[in-house]
Amino acid sequence: MGQMWVLAVGAAVAGLVQGISGFAFAMAAMSIWVWGVDPQLAAVMAVFGGLTGQIISVIRVRRGWHLQLLWPFVLGSAVGIPIGTRLLPLLDPNRFKLVLGAMLVACCSAMLATTRLPAIRSGGRVADAAVGLLGGVMAPLSGFSGLAPALWATLRGYTKDEHRAVLQNFNLVVLAATMASLVWSGRARAVHLPQMGVVAASLVVPSVWGSKIYLGLSPIAFRNGVLWVLVFAGLTMLASALKNMML
């Protein structure tokens, strides 16, 4: 019963964060679930909750598909998801979290301190596809499919609506594919339906609130909010890795 309460609180907080930012459900939820939810269950719930929240966001915050921006990311993710699935049993998750967490905290803190960074224009669709590939690899490994695209969209200098559209639609496609792979592989099973029900019920209202907050944010506030979410995600990964290494 205690685990259900932890699931509910984590899903509610994560739903609010995702509603505002368009991504980051897994990051916010894991920061709470890591202290009281079985890691295997948490991984499945992170993908399920993120997908459910994205569906709500698509309904609540319609920003179009921006297909000219989106398709390289999705194409890259189609290559990345199978790679991430194959790497999953080989990767040391604690070292992965330590390295990635430290990079996020350092890079995003620097970007917060420097608000007038020039936008990256080089690389074109190939660079976008490479970032999508990285997001696809990270989806099975951690559920953090939106990390790389979120940071890249900020570096690209996308407008608020472009940023939201790319992240929202990229995560919708990638999380749907990842959830299908979890069901196919047997990692997501009928026995998980009660926990899925708790997660879905807990995130609905906060997701709607979050989408309302997003609509009222200025472009600068949205950019800084995304960067703070990424810093928080990095700190969460560092804390989780250190906790596991000390056990």
The Cα–Cα gap between 144 and 142 comes to 5
Instruction: Name residue, tokens 């990964």.
Output: 237
The Cα–Cα gap between 234 and 230 comes to 6
**How crowded is residue 187: how many other Cβ atoms within 10 Å of its Cβ?**
16
Residue count of the chain: 247
Q: Are the C-beta atoms of residues 80 and 133 closer than 8 Å to each other?
A: yes
- Report, as an integer, the average pLDDT of 138-161: 81
The Cα–Cα gap between 52 and 54 comes to 5
The strand ranges marked E within the chain are none
Q: What is the pLDDT of residues 93-137, one digit of tens each?
A: 677 778 778 877 887 887 777 666 677 888 889 999 999 999 888
The Cα–Cα gap between 239 and 204 comes to 28
Q: What is the pLDDT of residues 169-193, one digit of tens each?
A: 888 888 898 888 888 878 888 899 9
Q: What is the pLDDT of residues 13-71, one digit of tens each?
A: 999 988 888 877 887 888 788 778 887 788 889 889 999 988 888 787 665 667 788 89
**CB hemisphere CA count around 15 (13 angstroms):** 25
Q: Are the C-beta atoms of residues 165 and 69 closer than 8 Å to each other?
A: yes
